[in-house]
Amino acid sequence: MQSDRCAGIMSASLILHGYWRSSAAYRVRIALNFKGLAYDQVNHDLRTGAQHAADYRTIAPHGLVPALVDGGNAFIQSPAILEWLEERYPLPALLPADIDDRAIVRSMISIVACDIHPLNNLRVLEKLRGTFGADADAIKSWIAGWISEGFSVVEELVRRHGEGYCFGAAPTLADCTLVPQLYSAERFGVDLSPYPALMTAGEAARALPAFIAAHPHRQPDADSP
């Protein structure tokens, strides 16, 4: 069940507030699908500033997506939401059992979610355009630079720890985080040839049903092809 109307936080079902092309919302969709959880979608078009509406800010005070509502609780920031899903719905697992292995997976997540994505977020790109006069080529160079710097580190970690996926032989939250960033990199024409291990892991994950269903172009608010 899906809706484009802003929903209150008292619903008994899981409600994901997002936007079809948001990398952060994409991560959460993957995890929800992987764990077989039913959820409603409420969509906010970031291009029109819908995420700043007063009724949505009662759910997500920072005015960003995603937000995940569960009954009377609203959770914001995708890394925190992913961790909550893993703790609340531990099977099937998206974190390894070993504490050291979990730290490695979280390192991969952090490189993407903390080092790459925030610098390429829509509000940052709008600031570059509006305040600093960056043109399309400058924006593309900015995006590619930060993605390439982060991906070079993820590549090395996947080489060390991957066995078909980012870590080991099964998908983890690292794959949930990597795949949306790959979508963004491809969207902006970033050269991904220097990252063969990363790409192998990404392609393996993207072939799974949970990842396929979460793809931006399959979302109800996606632009028409």
- The HSE-up count of residue 31 (CA atoms within 13 Å, CB side) is 33
pLDDT for residue 218 is more than 90: yes
Q: In the structure, what pLDDT confidence band is assigned to residue 36 with cuts at 50, 70 and 90?
A: very high
pLDDT for residue 8 is more than 60: no
pLDDT for residue 123 is more than 90: no
Distance of CA 183 to the CA centre of its chain: 10
Every domain of the chain and the residues it spans: 12-92, 99-211
Same fold, 12-92 and 99-211: no
Q: Domain 12-92 is of which CATH architecture?
A: 3-Layer(aba) Sandwich (3.40)
What was the pLDDT predicted at 54? 96
What was the pLDDT predicted at 121? 86
| This prediction's pTM | 0.92
What was the pLDDT predicted at 225? 74
Tell me, which fold does domain 99-211 have in CATH? Glutathione S-transferase Yfyf (Class Pi); Chain A, domain 2 (1.20.1050)
Mean pLDDT of the chain: 93
pLDDT for residue 53 is more than 80: yes
* Between 120 and 39, the higher pLDDT residue: 39
pLDDT for residue 3 is more than 80: no
What was the pLDDT predicted at 2? 42
DSSP the chain: -EESSPPPTT-SSEEEEE-TT-HHHHHHHHHHHHTT---EEEE--GGGTGGG-HHHHTT-TT--S-EEEETTEEEESHHHHHHHHHHHS-SS-SS-SSHHHHHHHHHHHHIIIIIIGGGGSHHHHHHHHHTT---HHHHHHHHHHHHHHHHHHHHHHHHHHBSSSSSBTS--HHHHHHHHHHHHHHHTT---TT-HHHHHHHHHHHTSHHHHHH-GGGSTTPPP-
pLDDT for residue 147 is more than 50: yes
Q: What is the mean pLDDT of residues 34-40?
A: 96
What was the pLDDT predicted at 50? 95
What was the pLDDT predicted at 224? 83
